[in-house]
Amino acid sequence: MARFLTTTGVSYRLEELIKNAEERLVIISPFLQINDRIKELLEDKDRLKLDVRVVYGKNELQPDEENWLESRRSLRISFCKNLHAKCYLNEHEALLTSMNLYEFSEVNNHEMGVLIVRSEDPELYKQVYRESMRIVRVSNEDRVSNEDRVTVAKVASKQRSRDALRRLRPSRNHADIGNPRRGDSVSGVWGRSLLTRPDRIANVVTGSGTGIRTPAMSRNTATSVAMRAKRH
């Protein structure tokens, strides 16, 4: 026989349903904002490696909420477009209710629910279970494991670190001009003209004309570079 529940009863039976799950746990709630008490219960099920399916559908998860859910190895999270049903079940009971697994709803809203006990009404429980699993199947989980998500996050983090190091790396200085094979040490057309016009190298080094004085190279170095440039 199904049992009618008010707001307080729904909150209580939901906690008991999660606590008493031993084989499976299904949470279907369009909105998710899990309070600390429910998180403690789910963390305990995660330690026991219980198969937990969480389906949401009405909004993007907050970063903290998403990170917490994905850090639980036994939880499989999926998104179901146009989801409006709210259902919570384990292998013993099913709870159909108006209440989302949302902290604000538990505290502020007027909710109702119906508790179905499998041993008392096996046929009704079976119908609820079948429909709940259908929603799980059609939801978009992308079939990505939590380990895969962590791996992807690590790869992305390493790539960002490499990009940051490249930006911090100093560019080649003017001394590189002394090696004619490193003509890319000065960018653009100006760099190529230095290797083909020895007089411009001298100007750069000695400060004559409109060049820029570069202490890193002496006049002898400039002469050497000019001779090499002529041979090339």
129-179 pLDDT, tens per residue?
999 999 999 998 644 444 554 554 565 566 677 777 777 765 555 454 455
Q: What is the CA radius of gyration of the chain?
A: 34
Q: How many CB atoms lie within 10 A of CB 43?
A: 14
State how far the Cα of 22 lies from the Cα of 36, in Å rounded to an integer. Answer: 21
The pLDDT assigned to 155 comes to 57
Res 140: pLDDT: 86
Return all residues near 3 (Cβ < 8 A) that are at least 6 apart.
114, 115, 117
pLDDT at 145: 46
Q: Which two tokens stand for residue 22?
A: 């031993």
Lowest mean pLDDT among 30-34, 174-178, 221-225: 174-178
* Helix (H) or strand (E) run with residue 17 in it: helix 7-19
Do residues 78 and 55 lie in contact, with contact meaning Cβ atoms separated by under 8 Å? Answer: yes
pTM for this model (two decimals)? 0.60
pLDDT in tens, 34-56: 999 999 999 999 999 999 999 99
Query: Average pLDDT for residues 94-114, to the nearest whole number?
Result: 91
Cβ neighbours of residue 107 closer than 8 Å, sequence gap 6 or more: none
C-beta pairs of 196-203 under 8 Å, 24+ apart in sequence: 196/229, 197/229, 198/222, 198/225, 198/226, 198/227, 198/229, 198/230, 199/226, 201/177, 201/225, 201/226, 201/229, 202/226
